[in-house]
């Protein structure tokens, strides 16, 4: 089965960077699962929830847009043209800095703020977006 990103990429569009959720961001689901494991295996439900959340989240930066898909049964998607992004903010708490995960916030022309939480290597994702913007800007004809 093809991934969501593969199914929405248009001809001529190239995936430059793929992101993923950090396993550390799911710490509380893993921990509660471990604590509840002796309780008739109830902890497995928490482990399954964390695993599903990590496996069903797809994040990508292409030469044209940022694509994010969340969810297994209920699907939420975000697709933002890189040329319309005006700012990319990264927020990392102390644990996020230590363990390498954080939140990336995009804002732009005609777009409300869009947030991607629990992203592994948020600085790398931001760099990929900025690189895509520079590439897209170089390809546009001068006015």
- The conformation of residue 141, written as its DSSP 8-state character, comes to P
What string of DSSP letters covers 12-66? T--EEEEE-B-SGGGHHHHHHHHHHTTTTTTHHHHHHHHHHHHHT-EEEEESSEE
Q: For residue 106, what are the domain limits?
A: 16-22+59-139
53 domain-assigned: no
Q: What is the mean pLDDT of residues 90-118?
A: 90
The domain total for the chain is 1
40 domain-assigned: no
pLDDT in tens, 108-124: 877 678 899 999 999 99
- pLDDT for the residue numbered 141: 53
34 domain-assigned: no
Distance CA 82, CA 110 (A): 13
Instruction: Check which CATH number belongs to the domain holding 84 and give it.
Output: 2.30.29.30
124 domain-assigned: yes
7 domain-assigned: no
Q: Which two tokens stand for residue 5?
A: 């990103």
Q: What is the mean pLDDT of the chain?
A: 89
10 domain-assigned: no
């Amino acid at each position: 089965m093809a991934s969501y990103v593969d199914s929405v990429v248009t001809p001529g569009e190239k995936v430059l960077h793929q992101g993923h959720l950090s396993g550390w961001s799911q710490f509380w689901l893993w921990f509660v699962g471990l604590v509840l494991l002796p309780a008739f295996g109830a902890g497995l439900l928490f482990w399954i929830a964390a695993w599903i959340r990590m496996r069903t989240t797809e994040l990508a930066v292409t030469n044209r847009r940022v694509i994010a898909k969340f969810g297994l049964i209920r699907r939420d998607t975000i697709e933002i043209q890189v040329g319309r992004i005006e700012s990319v903010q990264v927020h990392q708490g102390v644990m996020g800095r230590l363990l390498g995960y954080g939140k990336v916030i995009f804002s732009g022309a005609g777009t409300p703020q869009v947030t991607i939480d629990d992203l592994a290597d948020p600085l790398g994702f931001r760099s990929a977006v900025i690189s895509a913007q520079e590439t897209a800007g170089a390809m546009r004809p001068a006015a």
